[in-house]
Amino acid sequence: MKTQYRHTKIIFTLGPATESEEVLEELIRSGADICRLNMAHATNEWCEQMAERVKKVGERVGKDIALMMDVKGPEIRTSKIEGVWELMVGEKLDIMMRGNGESKGGVRSISVNYPEMTEAVKEGDVILVDSGLVHLKVLEKKPDYIRTEVVIGGKLGSKRHINLPGIRVNLPALTEQDKEHIKIGAKNGMAFFALSFVREAKDIEELKQYLKDCNSNARVIAKIEDQCGLKNLDAIIEASDGVMVARGDLGVECPFEQIPIIQKMTVEKCILYGKPVIVATHLLESMTYAPVPTRAEVSDVAQAIYEQTDAVMLSGETSVGKYPVQCVETIKKVVAHVESIIPAKHNEGPLILSGKNKMLRSAVVLAQEIGNTGIMVFTRRGESIQKLSSLRPTRCPLYVFTDDHLLSVQLRLLWGVEPFYIKFFKDRNQTIEEAVKLLKERQYVIENDYLIVLTNILVSRKSIDTIQLRKVE
Going by the DSSP 8-state scheme, the letter that residue 2 receives in this structure is P
At residue 159, the pLDDT reads 87
| Tens digit of each residue's pLDDT (9 = 90 or more) over 234-243 | 999 999 999 9
| Tens digit of each residue's pLDDT (9 = 90 or more) over 352-381 | 666 678 889 999 999 999 988 999 999 988
At residue 363, the pLDDT reads 93
At residue 355, the pLDDT reads 67
Res. 307 pLDDT band, cuts 50 70 90? very high
384 vs 287 pLDDT, higher one: 287
Query: Known catalytic residue: 373?
Result: no
Catalytic residue among 6, 8, 18, 36: 36
Query: Known catalytic residue: 281?
Result: yes
Catalytic residue among 72, 160, 219, 223: 223
pTM for the predicted model, two decimal places: 0.93
Q: Identify whether the C-beta of residue 82 lies closer than 8 Å to the C-beta of residue 98.
A: no
Catalytic residue among 78, 148, 281, 373: 281
Dist CA 422 CA 401 (whole Å): 7
Report the pLDDT averaged over residues 130-147.
91
Q: Identify whether the C-beta of residue 270 lies closer than 8 Å to the C-beta of residue 242.
A: yes
Res. 306 pLDDT band, cuts 50 70 90? very high
Going by the DSSP 8-state scheme, the letter that residue 282 receives in this structure is S
Q: Any idea how long the chain is?
A: 473
Res. 82 pLDDT band, cuts 50 70 90? confident
Q: How far is CA 197 from the centre of its chain?
A: 13
- State phi, psi for 462 to the nearest 5 degrees: -110, 145
Judged by average pLDDT, the poorest of 43-47, 62-66, 98-102, 337-341 is 98-102
pLDDT at residue 195 is higher than 60: yes
4 vs 115 pLDDT, higher one: 115
- State phi, psi for 346 to the nearest 5 degrees: -140, 160
pLDDT at residue 101 is higher than 60: no
- Whether domain 355-471 has CATH 3.40.1380.20: yes
Query: 76-163 has which CATH code?
Result: 2.40.33.10
Beta bridge partners of 35: 12, 67
Dist CA 369 CA 444 (whole Å): 19
Cα atoms found within 13 Å of the Cα of residue 90, Cβ hemisphere only: 0
Report the pLDDT averaged over residues 168-181.
91
Average pLDDT of the residues of the chain: 92
| Tens digit of each residue's pLDDT (9 = 90 or more) over 207-245 | 999 999 999 999 999 999 999 999 999 999 999 999 999
Nearest Cα to 333, choosing from 10, 2, 46? 10
Rg (CA), the chain: 24
Report the pLDDT averaged over residues 160-183.
91
- Whether domain 9-74+173-339 has CATH 3.10.105.10: no
Dist CA 5 CA 338 (whole Å): 13
pLDDT at residue 459 is higher than 70: no
At residue 350, the pLDDT reads 66
At residue 430, the pLDDT reads 94
At residue 60, the pLDDT reads 96
Going by the DSSP 8-state scheme, the letter that residue 143 receives in this structure is S
At residue 469, the pLDDT reads 93
Helix (H) / strand (E) element for 329: namely helix 324-341
3-state secondary structure of 194: strand
- Domain range list for the chain: 9-74+173-339, 76-163, 355-471
At residue 337, the pLDDT reads 95
Which residues, including other chains, have CB under 8 Å from residue 62's CB and lie 6 or more apart? none
Query: Known catalytic residue: 36?
Result: yes
pLDDT at residue 201 is higher than 70: yes
pLDDT at residue 97 is higher than 90: no
Percent of the chain with pLDDT over 70: 96
| Tens digit of each residue's pLDDT (9 = 90 or more) over 51-72 | 999 999 999 999 999 999 999 8
